[in-house]
Amino acid sequence: MEQAGDRMPDRKIIPDGKFQTVGKSVPRVDAFEKVTGRAKYADDLSMPHMLHAVCVHSKVPYASVKVNAEKARSMPGVVLVLTEKDFPKPQSMLDFWYCTDHPKFCGDVVAVVAAETRTQAENAAAEVKVLSEKLSGVYTVQEALAPDSPVIRDKGVGLYNGMPDPSGKGNVFLESYHPLRKGNVADGFARSDVILERTYATGFVEHAYIEPESVLTYYDDVNQLLTIRSCSQQGHMPREFVADALRLPMNRIRAVQCTVGGSFGGKFEMTGLMCARAALVTQKTGRPCKITYTREDSILESAKRHPFYTTIRIGADQNGKILAYQARQLENCGAYNNQAPWMNIRAMVHSAGPYEIENVWTDTFGVFTNTLSPCAFRGYSSPQVIFGNEMIMDELAGELGISVLDLKRKNLLRKGSRTATGQELIHETILADMMESVAAETDYERKEREYRNQTGRWRKGISLVTSYRGSALGGEGVDSSGAMFTALPDGSFILNAALMEVGQGLRTVYAQIVSEASGIALDDIMVEAVDTHHIPDSGLTVASRGTAQGGQSVKMAGEKMKEMLLESAAELLHAKPEELILENSICCVAKEPERRITMAEICTYRKYAGLPLATYQWYIPRPLVNDEKTGQGEAFTTYAYGVTVAEVLVNTGTGEVKIERVTAAHDVGKAINPGLIKGQIYGGIMMGIGFGLWEEVRVPGGKTEDTNLDAYHIATARDVPDIRIRIFESRDPEGTYGAKCIAEAATEMTGTAVALAVQHAIGKTVRRLPLTMERIVCALDGDAEENIAGGLPPLPDVR
Amino acid sequence: MMKEIEFTLNGTRTRTETQPGERLLDLLRERLGLTGTKEGCGIGSCGACTVILDGKAVNACLVPAQAVDGRELVTIEGIMQNESLHPIQDALIRHHAIQCGFCTPGLVMSAKALLDENPDPSRGEIQRAIAGNLCRCTGYEQVIEAIQDAAKGGKTQC
């Protein structure tokens, strides 16, 4: 038997105090299969006698429908057509419908057609007759809030004094409401020398992962488990959807992850619904069933980023100290919504931006509309929240006649500051230092002054945006996690963890963490795919929590394994465990390095001695206490800080924007893998530029034409500006090896930064994203400024 | 009517049946089991299905299968030499230029078509050559650097 240790004869013991793999840009563990095309995504799988199913979408945004599938059923190759009545439980536990006769948005599925081939299924789907009796719906936030509007959800409530009112009916989503109350805002405004009130708006944004959704279900060959292979970003949730839809015990359903072609928060609910639809076909026919969406179906049905209307009232004294802050963050929640109740905790906590303000009053809630269905999307409210806050800070600085840097210097959070939720920042808080460093590096202040009075066709603009971000889930949800680490007799190891590799590099980072903790060499560790029958659920792969919090149990499993290995090594080497070192899969007596033993010898010994070769560890984070009525309390264990500077050139004739340079600085706590972190930042920046300048799924009257990548534009390689990345590390005890988060931090500031830079270049205020060429031209042409606040209720009277 | 075609696929003479209207992408993925070529949009916008036909990078979703009759086609499955990675593949790994990986095969093919024709491209030429390959994860920067590195035959450790 080849022994794992033999394959790497040149391994060295690492000097004391240095990390073995943490902090190194090791290549991805899944790089080879991905770069050779051998990695299998859900649609790459096929099985004998597999059926292909196609979902028929309503296309009508709000209606009562009758589905006539008579002709479709008679078409060649068609095996069955499912409608609402065929589903044991047609509405999912997360609000959305597996299949419905009462669509509330154009992406609702009214029928599922299964046939022998994909083409046959598509042909039959085109012959499913959907007779729609159209209902009167609401297609904008303003319509949803207008008096006497149709109430589209039974659970919708009304408004009173600009706040949700459970005693009235309306379209407000009560469960999404999170108020924040700190200090006395009326008093703060009374003492203010300057008070501004502005409203800012953002649109629907598509995740646009390059892999459209695909799922495959079948009965496995041993236990007849209903098995799911899918593109879901959640390892365990497909099982819950199928158990829910089919009324089956969860232990009869197994989900095994596929390679996932990007998700960014979007491959969760809709993918779960698809799993259930395919599973019902499999249950009814006994045959494997695949559903792969076209890009058009994907954009029509899949989640989007929530559009926000943010109205902010801010008061400051003449020196620039902010004395009062009031805001209403009002989002379009679509027809169904599983995320806003959680997302709005984050939106509420961060509502007042990275500033220390004594008096804060904010109301965050969504309304139902017959548009698209927003869910989680990279940032989870922060791109929209940052847009409102950073734009009004810029206007406030202008009003006060001071530079925005001076305004920030007076108000930024520092160590010992209290956040809007009253949480004292007890860990290193390096935001102000980061800002000074980036401002100096980019020569921000000189350029900002120089660009003030330009006259040419092309004009330059520069902006600086600051942010802070609660790391991982914190008070938003359950941040526990579990991991199992197994030794094999040849000295190789398997790690099973329950959070998902979706492209972000989690398998690589977990290999690094468990390697570091156990002393096992990186190459001797295999990080397994998530399989519901191999590892218990550890919650959702969301909130940039995979490394900082998901990694905690991985580290614990590594540490426990090290303890087990050293215990046996001590016996075999006739030494005490504390006299030994174990690093890079080499175990020896510290003072006599020639007294050594291989992992294979230790593991083989443990096998025949009947000692455990595996450990399962569970991490429980420290509790956080919040008051739901005021939002006051400890919201997150720690925060990550960021600064972005954007430099643009704007063509004042055409509205074209050339982004010349983006400088992004991020406090990541500890950089476990700098190469992967840079990848997150580059990708986050390009996605953020799209949010700022181009990307919007337009939904007039509840319908959209923007259903493929020719109409919905994302950044290409030609759009890449000069990008400068600054990774800051800070000493922070909360996350795994001090890691904070990056995936979402990387994208949240960029859209605002480019829009603000354009604002500076053209000298016109920007209040709506995306800031398209058309909008820039309209602003420059001196068109009457859009009244974004029109049709929205006034802010609550706080006196 | 099924029609037999014959073409060179990854260096091997290949005969296969095709249907009228069948896309090259379906021929590869479904009939020949070559799933490294991906479908992302079906309209030639994303480049995930990029293959090299007679030396040019093309979107397999836009090419009728029967159009490859008598021609030379290279897919992602055909570019390793003697079981070792193509220099572009190797560079993408070293530069951390892969995330979810779904667009990666198409990017590799576009980059290969470029370097086969222009072994020393400028940064701008690289950006143009891969502008039809959408990637939502990487932001392209490390991809561009990797292709530059591969062109220089470099072994930059990143």
**CB spacing of B126 vs A708 below 8 angstroms:** no
Q: What is the pLDDT of residues A156-187, one digit of tens each?
A: 999 999 999 999 999 999 999 999 999 999 99
To the question of domain B87-151 being in CATH 1.20.1440.80, the answer is no
Average pLDDT for residues A18-24, to the nearest whole number? 92
With contact defined as beta carbons under 8 Å apart, do A522 and A511 qualify? yes
pLDDT band at A477 (very low <50, low <70, confident <90, very high): confident
Q: Residue A697 has what DSSP assignment?
A: -
* Selection from A474, A624, A475, A472 nearest residue A548 by Cα: A472
**CB spacing of B136 vs A684 below 8 angstroms:** no
| A32 close contact with B: CB closer than 8 A | yes
**CB spacing of B142 vs A682 below 8 angstroms:** yes
**Facing residue for A37 by CB, picked from B76, B137, B141:** B76
**What is the residue type of A368?**
F
Average pLDDT for residues A383-392, to the nearest whole number? 98
Q: Rounded to 10 degrees, what is the CA torsion of A505, A509, A510, A515?
A: 150
Locate A14 and state its tokens.
């690492």
**Facing residue for B96 by CB, picked from A210, A675, A716:** A675
Count residue pairs from A and B with Cβ separation < 8 A: 173
**Facing residue for A717 by CB, picked from B98, B101, B127:** B127
* Selection from A154, A130, A129, A152 nearest residue A141 by Cα: A152
Average pLDDT for residues A28-36, to the nearest whole number? 98
pLDDT band at A9 (very low <50, low <70, confident <90, very high): very low
> Alpha helix locations (H) across A593-749?
599-609, 674-693, 745-748
**Facing residue for B101 by CB, picked from A39, A208, A675:** A39
Residue B56, classed as helix, strand or coil, is strand
Contacts A117 to B, Cβ<8 Å: none
Residues 189-228 (A) with a CB less than 8 A from some CB of B = 207-212
User: For residue B155, what pLDDT is reported?
Assistant: 66
**CB spacing of A211 vs B37 below 8 angstroms:** no
| A34 close contact with B: CB closer than 8 A | yes
Give the chain B residue nearest A687 (alpha carbons).
Answer: B136
Strands A322-332 and A109-115: unpaired
User: For residue B136, what pLDDT is reported?
Assistant: 98
Residues 708-737 (A) with a CB less than 8 A from some CB of B = 708-710, 714-718, 720, 723
Dist CA A647 CA A644 (whole Å):
10
Give the chain A residue nearest B108 (alpha carbons).
Answer: A35
A289: pLDDT strictly greater than 70 = yes
Active site residues of A: 744
**CB spacing of B41 vs A503 below 8 angstroms:** no
pLDDT band at B156 (very low <50, low <70, confident <90, very high): low
Contacts B96 to A, Cβ<8 Å: 25, 27-28, 675-676, 678-679
* Selection from A327, A328, A330 nearest residue A366 by Cα: A330
Q: What is the pLDDT of residues B3-49, one digit of tens each?
A: 999 999 999 999 999 999 999 999 999 999 999 999 999 999 999 99
Structural domains in chain A, CATH included, are 4-39+480-619 (3.30.365.10), 42-135+208-301 (3.30.365.10), 304-474+628-780 (3.30.365.10)
A8: pLDDT strictly greater than 60 = no
Strands A194-201 and A172-182: unpaired
User: For residue B157, what pLDDT is reported?
Assistant: 61
Give the chain A residue nearest B123 (alpha carbons).
Answer: A718
**Facing residue for A720 by CB, picked from B40, B85, B140:** B140
Q: What percentage of chain B reaches a pLDDT higher than 90? A: 94
**CB spacing of B80 vs A36 below 8 angstroms:** yes
Please write down the HEC assignment for all residues of A723-763: EEEEEECCCCCCCHHHCCCCCCHHHHCHHHHHHHHHHHHHC
Average pLDDT for residues B120-134, to the nearest whole number? 98
**CB spacing of A718 vs B132 below 8 angstroms:** no
The residue whose two tokens read 């560790």 is A525
Give the chain B residue nearest A707 (alpha carbons).
Answer: B41
* Selection from A653, A437, A459, A469 nearest residue A544 by Cα: A469
Report the DSSP beta bridge partners of residue A626: A633
Q: What is the pLDDT of residues A408-456, one digit of tens each?
A: 999 999 999 999 999 999 999 999 999 999 999 999 999 999 999 899 9
**CB spacing of B99 vs A40 below 8 angstroms:** no
Would you tell me how many other CB atoms lie within 10 Å of the CB of residue A622? 8
Cα angle A264, A267, A271; round to 5? 175
Contacts A659 to B, Cβ<8 Å: none
Contacts A684 to B, Cβ<8 Å: 139
Closest chain A C-alpha to B132 CA, distance in angstroms: 7
ipTM confidence score: 0.98
Average pLDDT for residues A754-771, to the nearest whole number? 97
Contacts B158 to A, Cβ<8 Å: 25, 675
Measured in degrees and rounded to the nearest 5, phi and psi for residue A581 equal -125, 150
User: For residue A14, what pLDDT is reported?
Assistant: 55
**What is the residue type of A714?**
I
Closest chain A C-alpha to B15 CA, distance in angstroms: 22
Helix (H) or strand (E) holding A144: helix A141-145
CATH number of the domain at B3-78, please?
3.10.20.30
User: For residue A783, what pLDDT is reported?
Assistant: 74
Please report, for chain A, how many H helices and E strands are present, in that order.
20, 29
Report chain B's mean pLDDT, rounded to a whole number.
Answer: 96
Domain ranges across chain B: 3-78, 87-151
Q: What is the pLDDT of residues A696-737, one digit of tens each?
A: 999 999 999 999 999 999 999 999 999 999 999 999 999 999
Residue A209, classed as helix, strand or coil, is coil
Contacts A264 to B, Cβ<8 Å: 136
